């Protein structure tokens, strides 16, 4: 996070969970960036990260983990679909030359 902060890059998380659950998650994980709630999935859908998923042979709707990078004009400049938490921040930092 310090690398992103030094370059004035804001980081946000977006989730379909309610705000109360997100507050608990932030505390539990010690996150230093805000998690935004989108319970109606409208923004998640517009960003292309809400859709059909499969687990144990069952299909359901959910968030498809990914990273979307916007420039100062809120224009998408890079996407990382199917992001994995392990090592992902480093991948984004390298791509953005941070």
CATH number at residue 16: 3.40.30.10
Total domains in the chain come to 1
How many whole angstroms separate alpha carbon 24 and alpha carbon 29?
9
**Quick check: pTM over 0.75?**
yes
For 74-93, write each residue's pLDDT tens digit.
899 999 988 888 889 999 99
Pick from 30, 31, 29, 34: nearest CA to 11: 34
Q: Is the pLDDT of residue 1 over 90?
A: no
Partnered with residue 18 across adjacent β-strands are none
For 10-63, write each residue's pLDDT tens digit.
999 999 999 999 999 999 999 999 999 999 999 999 998 999 998 899 999 999
For residue 6, the model assigns a pLDDT of: 92
How many whole angstroms separate alpha carbon 10 and alpha carbon 4?
7
For residue 60, the model assigns a pLDDT of: 92
Domain that holds residue 49: 2-95
């Amino acid at each position: 996070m310090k690398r992103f902060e030094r370059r004035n890059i804001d980081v946000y998380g977006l989730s379909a969970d309610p705000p109360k659950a997100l507050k608990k998650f932030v505390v539990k994980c010690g996150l230093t960036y805000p998690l935004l709630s989108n319970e109606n999935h409208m923004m998640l859908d517009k960003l292309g990260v809400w859709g059909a998923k499969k687990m144990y042979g069952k299909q359901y709707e959910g968030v498809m983990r990914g990273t979307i990078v916007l420039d100062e004009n809120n224009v998408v400049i890079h996407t990382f679909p199917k992001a994995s938490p392990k090592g992902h921040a480093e991948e984004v930092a390298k791509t953005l030359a941070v």
